[in-house]
Amino acid sequence: MRGRHLLKPLPLLTPKPPSRPPAAHFRARAAAHPPTPRRAPLAEPDVGISRFAASIPGFNGALKQRYSDFIVHEVARDGALVRLTSFDLPDGEESGDNVEDGECDATADPSRALASFRLLCGEVDYDALRGFLERVSEGGDGDLSPIILSADADKAHRSEVHEFIKRNFKFLNTDTVEHSDGIQKCIRVRLGSGPRGGRARNRRGMNSSGWRDDKPFDSRGSTSWPYHLGKFLRFNLYKENKDTQEALGVIGKMLGVQPRSFGFAGTKDKRAVTTQQVTLFKVHASRLAALNSKLAGIRVGDFSYVKEGLTLGQLRGNRFAITLRNVIAESDDVINAAVNGLSKNGFINYYGLQRFGSGSVPTHFVGAALLRGEWRHAVSLILGTRVHYKWHGDVDAALRGMPRHLTVERAILQRLKKYPGNYLQALMAIPKTLRLMYVHSYQSYLWNHAASMRVEKYGSSLGEATTTDTFDDDDSHVNSSEMEMSCETLPEEKIQSVKIVDSEDLLKAVYSFEDVVLPLPGSETLFPGNEVARIYHEIAKKDGISLIESAHGIKDFSITSMKGGYRRILQRPIDFEWDLMTYTDDNTPLVPTDLDVLSEIQSSETNELLSDGTCSCPSSDSQLQVSVVTSGPTIEASSAETKSIGILDLSPEKLAVKLEFTLPASSYATMAIRELTKTSTSVACQKTLNG
């Protein structure tokens, strides 16, 4: 009842784009046909999800009845499975270590350092820094406003200056600011906290020389740090029923660090138990580990120091352990056929509903408004039903009534308060990765519709003018997964080599349906040379959007400013395994989590110590970690013991299907489950099944 399948590398495609109407036509239609916000939750056909890879019948099963029924482990770039296995600190670091940021000898004579600074930066900056240090040493509050050094176009030199000040004047903080012309850049210096620190006053707005002085200070590089350690703490983040941003927000608030200090390769599902790698800039493991006793539904461990932080897209994929409960099928043969069909045929590699958001307004609606240059409409869509602002324009009232966790909405409103009526400026207050998400969502919306049309019209046949991946069948397929993933998360960074299939390729049977890809529209992607290309332009035209000419000059909100990418139509689960299970209690965990396994190990080790007489009681940390979650194995043992003493269990026996498989970083496990059950993954449908 188990199956395994190793996915082989796939090739890429590139057909010629058909002729298109001028962009002015699209702009004219934009105002007349803006997308209407949806009040009801998204259904799969709304975002182009309508076909299946095979016609094998499915079966009913409840997905995510418990969040622990959906377990995700990140697969790192080196192929290692990311698990929470230890709370131990790195070698040489003790839990009592308390190296705080900014601790340094600030009373040292600065004359020698100033002399070196004069050689590095010149006479003008030397005089400015010397005067600033004199005011600091006087200890007065006369003028401790930041100083701005001379314009410096050499990024490498600016980095050297940052490092020099950090090394020699540890009580000072530096960051880079830009001139009002948007081109020139320079270094800003201010008094930091700690010895000789205090609180420096900060001028707001533009100074007399035209340099922006209203930018928040970036003090990431201002802390003292042991030279023998990598500047980033890497750790494994385990979370239950929380999304990645929420979990890191909690940790950041407790540590007093800003969100930009964290790095991660990808966001993980909220209603799930997930483990992923995270990096944190210049924070000691002991500080982070101390939070475990205070965190709810979150644990951190497996600490190490590394030289580079993680960025989006730096992962191989994800390993899933998914349990479908309350399974109902005509027979076990139906389940066998469906599961084996998924393993053999794969599934259509749709972008799942999660891609389009869970709010009242889908993210691709916002993306369409941004592509048309409708800044005010986009702001209105993002803010949604925040009544005070939408109907009365009362920014202050909207901010007062808005929860703190709605960071995007609050950022927009705060920028509107500062620049009333400037909706583009308000949109630029959103972090860049989130800004790009909206346009990427619209690209995904087009791709889903194109994939459905392709499967509907051509099935699994190849056909001429189809685009295929051209990677060789060798070890380079490892990189192809990373490239595809990078195209999906940041399409402007990577472009894959593709080929249009011709009659000679068909005769030689060079490619199969597994090799077929479709484009995520961009300036350097090519469309198939068949009718599938038409669907992209028809849908975009209906939304008042041109895919070949931008309606405005804002790069972040323009498909033509992104290079684009390609995505396989078909995806097979990798290292696929499955089992049928029976259970009686809906609250019984059927698959152990990392915390369950770790708690069992610690409990066993504690019991061994007790039996040896070497320990009188477990530590407070052990008690905490063992009691956090009741593990699956413990419950199963209890159930077995009950039966052994003859107590009759009258609960009806239920059937569950446990699936384990790996997918590339840009593929959605929910789409694999959809293919298996032939059931919608929408919230409304799953609520019905769970009920």
The answer to whether 288 and 305 are in contact (CB under 8 A) is no
Active-site pick, 46, 69, 101, 269: 269
**Of residues 272, 266, 262, 258, the one with CA closest to residue 300:** 262
Question: Residue 532, SS3?
Answer: helix
Is residue 49 a contact partner of residue 557, using CB atoms and an 8 Å limit? no
Burial 246-285 (b: 16+ CB within 10 A, else e): ebbbbbbeebebeeebbbbbbbbbbbbbbbbbbbbbbbbb
Do residues 564 and 525 lie in contact, with contact meaning Cβ atoms separated by under 8 Å? Answer: yes
269 is catalytic: yes
Q: Which of 575, 476, 461 is nearest to 516 (CA)?
A: 461
If you search the block for the tokens 């390769």, which residue do you land on? 265
Residue 357 amino acid letter: G
The Cα-based distances of 609 to 602, 604, 616, 621 in angstroms read 11, 9, 8, 15
Alpha-carbon distance values, 69 to 196, 203, 597 (Å): 54, 53, 15
For 391, phi and psi rounded to 5 degrees? -100, -25
Residues 6+ apart with CB under 8 A from 202: 145, 146, 190, 213, 217
Q: Would you call 398 helix, strand, or coil by DSSP?
A: helix
For residue 573, how many C-alpha atoms fall within 13 Å in the half-sphere facing its CB? 29
Contact status, residue 543 vs residue 368, Cβ threshold 8 Å:
yes
Radius of gyration of the chain (CA): 29
Which residues, at least 6 apart from 54, have a Cβ–Cβ distance to it below 8 Å? 341, 345, 675
Contact by Cβ (8 Å): 472, 653: no
- C-alpha distances out from residue 20 to 378, 395, 560, 562, Å: 26, 42, 14, 19
Locate 395 and state its tokens.
């920014």
- What is the DSSP secondary structure assignment for residue 262, as one 8-state letter? E
Cα separation, 247 vs 249, in Å, equals 5
What's the angle, vertex CA 686, arms to CA 685 and CA 690, rounded to 5? 125
Is the distance from CB of 642 to CB of 289 less than 8 angstroms? no
> Among 384, 24, 471, 74, which residue's Cα sits nearest to residue 235?
74
As a whole number of angstroms, the distance between CA 372 and CA 551 comes to 6
Sign, CA torsion 63/66/69/71: positive
Query: Catalytic residues, which ones?
Result: 269
